Amino acid sequence: MAYSSEVYAAASRVLEERRRLAEREASLKKADVYAKYPEIYKIDSDLSRDMADLSVLMLRGGKDLNCALAEMMKKNEEISAEKARILTANNLPADYLEPHYTCKKCSDLGRKNGILCSCYKEVCKAEALKELAASSGSASCSFDNFDLSYYPDNGASDGTNPRRKMQNYYNFCINYANDFSSDSPSIVMMGRTGLGKTHLSLSIAKIAVERGAGVVYAPAQKLVSELEREHFSFSGSDSSIKKYSRCELLIIDDLGAEFPSSFTTAAIGSLINERLYENLPTIISTNLSSKELAERYSERTASRILGEYKKLFFVGEDIRFLKNR
């Protein structure tokens, strides 16, 4: 897994809360049982005292240690059995007073014997998907609800069939997502607004996250604003730069919609160059044409995008307009 530090922190908080709730519930049960069955309270008190004596015995050592340990263990087994008998006699499970953790393997610690538990990985995945939904403002985009029927199934003026072309792009994006790795190519999705570029890029992002990849999605304006704020804050922090330059998959949505400036040009060019140099995949969606890319970000940056990214030229009519109509 290579999620963001925020995802790992959120996952740890989820597991801590699970443990807290399980132990609080056990504590409430214990207080109720002690009030109803004082003999169980005495048994637990005896067990606690024996465990304390056992700790002292182990610290002292001595030749009689093994014999004393065996005797104490036998005693504890007997009184634990008596406790279980009382509980079951009153129609309660033998483990009624134990915390019932969500994950039985690691007791909601996230690790067992120093190895990450599968529950921690699942919580990380869920938190990463929540982070993606929050940053994109859309939790609904997926390959399952990408509707190809909105694309005309007839020949366009240039001789292409929009639906067939978009079907090919759809298939490419599914395969890209399912096979995503650090060796995956970068992609630039080009075309007018409302043709499904954001929908397909987010569909890729979801599957990549589910496969354990660290994905960062950002509208171009938000990305540039964060980099600019960090650059001119003189705080010495470079957390935003690292977030965008080092994540396993970066999705820059609506490139060209950000406010144009010399800083924007330099920041976008530098980010694209760095990720290409590090062989880290990037997905860019833009309404700009090839010529407009060169005019906006310099010939060199446009050449990098158009020459080294897989180009998908989206066609059709504005789907949002078609839906409203």
How many Å apart are CA 304 and CA 280, to the nearest integer? 14
Instruction: Identify whether 123 is part of a domain.
Output: no
How many Å apart are CA 120 and CA 212, to the nearest integer? 12
Is residue 237 predicted with pLDDT exceeding 80? no
Range of the domain at 63: 5-116
- Could you tell me if 154 and 291 lie in one domain? yes
- Could you tell me if 47 and 186 lie in one domain? no
- What pLDDT is stored for residue 213 in this prediction? 92
Q: What is the CA radius of gyration of the chain?
A: 30
The tokens for 283 are 């997905």
How many other β-carbons are positioned within 10 Å of the β-carbon of residue 75?
A: 13
Evaluate whether 124 touches 113 at the Cβ level (below 8 Å). no
Confidence band (pLDDT; 50, 70, 90) for 235?
Answer: low
- What pLDDT is stored for residue 319 in this prediction? 82
> What average pLDDT does range 90-104 have in this prediction?
93
- Could you tell me if 150 and 236 lie in one domain? yes
- Could you tell me if 241 and 95 lie in one domain? no
The tokens for 149 are 């029927």
> What average pLDDT does range 260-279 have in this prediction?
93
> What average pLDDT does range 221-236 have in this prediction?
84
pTM for this entry: 0.81
- Could you tell me if 149 and 219 lie in one domain? yes
Instruction: Identify whether 122 is part of a domain.
Output: no
Q: In the chain, how many H helices and how many E strands?
A: 12, 7
Question: What residues contact residue 18 under an 8 Å CB cut-off, 6+ apart?
Answer: 101, 102, 103, 108
Instruction: Identify whether 21 is part of a domain.
Output: yes
- Could you tell me if 302 and 159 lie in one domain? yes
Instruction: Identify whether 189 is part of a domain.
Output: yes
> What average pLDDT does range 216-233 have in this prediction?
90
Is residue 59 predicted with pLDDT exceeding 80? no
| pLDDT tens digit sequence for 166-219 | 999 999 999 999 999 989 999 999 999 999 999 999 999 999 999 989 999 999
Segment (H or E) for 324: helix 319-324
- Could you tell me if 112 and 256 lie in one domain? no
- Could you tell me if 309 and 258 lie in one domain? yes
Instruction: Identify whether 295 is part of a domain.
Output: yes
- Boundary-marking domain end, from 87, 116, 145: 116
